[in-house]
Amino acid sequence: MSVKTHVPLNDNVEGRYGSWVKQSIDLISPKNLFFIGGRGTAKSTDIQAERTQDVSYDMPRAQFAMVSDTYFNALDKIVPGIIEGWRERKGWIEDVHYVTDKRPPEHFKKPYKPVVQYKHTISLFNGCIFKLGSLDRIANLAGDSFQHVFGDEVKFFNPDKLKKLMPARRGFPEVSGSTYYRGTTFTTDMPNVVEGEFDWILERADLMDKDQIILALRCGCVVSDIRKEYYEAFNKGDYKKANLHKKNLERWVERWARARKDLSFFYMVSSFANADILQVGYFKDVLESDGIEAFKSSILSLKPDVKKGEKFYGNFGEHHLYDDGLNDYYDKFGILDEKKESCLSLKYLDRKKALDAGLDFGDMCSLVIGQPRGNYYYLLKNMFTLAPESSKELAKKFIDFFEDHQYKVLDLYYDRSGNQYQKQGRDWAGEIKDHIEKYDGVSTGWRVNLMSRNQANITHDQEFRFMKGFMGEHWTRMPKLKIDKFQCMQLISSIRLAKIKMKRTATGANILQKDKTSEKLPLSKLPMYSTNMSDAFKYLMYRKSYVKIANRSSTQTFNDPVIVG
């Protein structure tokens, strides 16, 4: 029933481009959508934006959950992308079709469930309401009821926490006839388990009934063709024929809905699905700037991996991470407000005690900030700068984030090169100390203690053996490591991706080394894919007091990192 319909340029019609992937999703319109797309496939601004519209049109006055891994990411990344899609691509206008963070106008329809608090909500003209939520504070959502759940960047979603939200998909019989009722819309790019991301979405492929998907697609194509025929007849003024097409359309829409009942659709595509828009030059630029490994995952949607035996930090695991490190600090910000990151958001920070930090210098300056707390050592935040930014800009980031820290003392452990550069006329460690204590000549109230003056070299073999024992929790007197999963993403990735390599000496002996080739990547790739941040972590943890504990508790001997000469 394929029909070619000519639309004159002077018609009041807006032309929109949709990739074949987007059109396939629209024609199938499943209850549950699980989509993995490479970079540039418009997951937020096109797929999520239109799905939210379609679902809200089909279930007026319903309540939906818009979920992210953290509240900050929901406010700063996910929701702005969807709203951009509504505004720039889908024709919706703020204060006409939707409002954020406030009571909607009186002419907006009312949702079935009364709303008490409008902060962190999006209200639509047809009575639908989106409630923002995050998995780091799942209790705020789990007790509510939602008729559909939306989530973008779900590679960051802990499946155990997500399970607690799924029973909240329930609600009003008035909308239970919708195909989308109690459904989900989850999108992401390829999860990288090496970097600590979650790949549970790949398992959703098993939920598909391929025959049902083909049936839904065929019905969707028929519905699309009838709509074109109806448009053609109506435009020509043949209202009798248009009325016949309208009745036929109603019959096929009903058949289409039956074909889509309880349908789950999993689809995974590379960025080449949108090649008509991105064009060849884009892919060449990404390959040149990112390197082949990043290109495989971010563009081609191929799963990356580092084998267990290749890992430099072989005892690093999920038990070292925590994902409840934020309190309710970000609740005060509205959806469209400018967000200020602050140490006030860190649940496990003791603002009345000194901070520790490990620092690595170079084209990428890396800073890992931590603090002991009871039997644990918490890594609270990592920061970095890329050339031409350097120590001054890194100091500014630290000062701004920890502005509200009360006991302004920082014990700084750093790269041995900081001492070497001191002899050559540039004192990296002294520079950042000066910038933190007195920025642009104005005292900040901070005191920085340089803990690595006269420090000896820490060999790769020493680091490997120390971290094996430390992360393996072999030494009972040593604190157990805990890393904030969201505030230290670059550090976690750096640790996970660090590989072993063996080097043969002049005498023929093999020595173990950390593979540093990743530090030759393009500048923009260094934070997530290089060993730089893990080196800052090394300087922070391989300290004199911890080495003493390791030496007392182990048959191996670790060199003292500090030599007074």
- What is the pLDDT, as a whole number, of residue 225? 95
The CA distance from 185 to 216, in Å, is 17
Q: Is 251 left (phi over 0), alpha (psi -120 to 50) or beta?
A: alpha
CA separation (Å) from 555 to 471, 474, 475? 17, 12, 11
Q: For residue 366, give the CATH number of its domain.
A: 3.30.420.280
User: How many Cβ atoms from other residues are within 10 Å of residue 179's Cβ?
Assistant: 21
For residue 14, is it within any domain? Answer: no
Residues of the domain holding 350: 318-553
Sign, Cα dihedral of 462, 468, 471, 476:
negative
The CA distance from 46 to 22, in Å, is 8
Question: What stretches of 44-105 adopt beta strand conformation (E)?
Answer: 63-68, 98-100
* Contact residues for 365 (Cβ-Cβ < 8 A; gap 6+): 359, 384, 385, 389, 390, 391, 394
Instruction: Examine the domain organization and report whether 329 and 429 are in the same domain.
Output: yes
- What is the pLDDT, as a whole number, of residue 9? 52
- By the 8 A CB rule, do 55 and 64 touch? yes
Instruction: Examine the domain organization and report whether 88 and 144 are in the same domain.
Output: yes
- What is the pLDDT, as a whole number, of residue 557? 61
Q: How many helices (H) and strands (E) does the chain have?
A: 18, 19
Instruction: Examine the domain organization and report whether 403 and 466 are in the same domain.
Output: yes
- What is the pLDDT, as a whole number, of residue 426? 66
For residue 66, is it within any domain? Answer: yes
Q: Return the ∠ at Cα 448 (arms to 393 and 451), rounded to 5°.
A: 110
- By the 8 A CB rule, do 293 and 60 touch? no
What is the phi/psi pair of residue 552, to 5°?
-75, -25
DSSP code at position 307: -
Instruction: Examine the domain organization and report whether 89 and 200 are in the same domain.
Output: yes
Instruction: Examine the domain organization and report whether 335 and 267 are in the same domain.
Output: no
Q: For residue 156, give the CATH number of its domain.
A: 3.40.50.300
Q: Which residues of the chain have pLDDT under 50?
A: 1, 419, 421-424, 563-565
Instruction: Examine the domain organization and report whether 366 and 472 are in the same domain.
Output: yes
For residue 305, is it within any domain? Answer: no
CA separation (Å) from 62 to 56, 149, 175, 347? 7, 11, 7, 34
- What is the pLDDT, as a whole number, of residue 291? 76
- By the 8 A CB rule, do 47 and 189 touch? no
Instruction: Examine the domain organization and report whether 339 and 194 are in the same domain.
Output: no
For residue 310, is it within any domain? Answer: no
Q: Structure tokens of 488? A: 């230290």
- Give the residues across from 329 on adjacent strands: none
- What is the pLDDT, as a whole number, of residue 306? 67
Q: What's the predicted TM-score (pTM) here?
A: 0.74
Instruction: Examine the domain organization and report whether 363 and 268 are in the same domain.
Output: no
DSSP 447-486: EEEE--TTBPP--HHHHHHHHHHHHTT--TTSPEEEEETT
Instruction: Examine the domain organization and report whether 497 and 372 are in the same domain.
Output: yes
- By the 8 A CB rule, do 452 and 543 touch? no
Write out the H or E segment, with its range, that includes residue 122.
Answer: strand 121-124
For residue 311, is it within any domain? Answer: no
3-class DSSP assignment, residue 53:
helix
The CA distance from 245 to 47, in Å, is 29
Question: What is the SS3 string spanning 331-397?
Answer: HHCCCCCCCCCCHHHECCCCCCCCEEEEEECCCEEEEEEEEEECCEEEEEEEEEEECCCCHHHHHHH
Q: Count of domains in the chain? A: 2
Cis ω on the peptide bond leading into residue 479 (within 30° of 0)? no
- By the 8 A CB rule, do 104 and 121 touch? no
**CA nearest neighbour of 246 among 258, 257, 236, 232:** 232
The CA distance from 415 to 418, in Å, is 6
Instruction: Examine the domain organization and report whether 267 and 335 are in the same domain.
Output: no
Q: Return the ∠ at Cα 498 (arms to 496 and 500), rounded to 5°.
A: 130
For residue 39, is it within any domain? Answer: yes
For residue 278, is it within any domain? Answer: no
For residue 486, is it within any domain? Answer: yes
- Burial bucket for residue 69 (CB in 10 Å: 0-12, 13-18, 19+): buried
What is the phi/psi pair of residue 404, to 5°?
-95, 10
The residue behind tokens 């702005």 is 80
Instruction: Examine the domain organization and report whether 51 and 166 are in the same domain.
Output: yes
Instruction: Examine the domain organization and report whether 268 and 371 are in the same domain.
Output: no
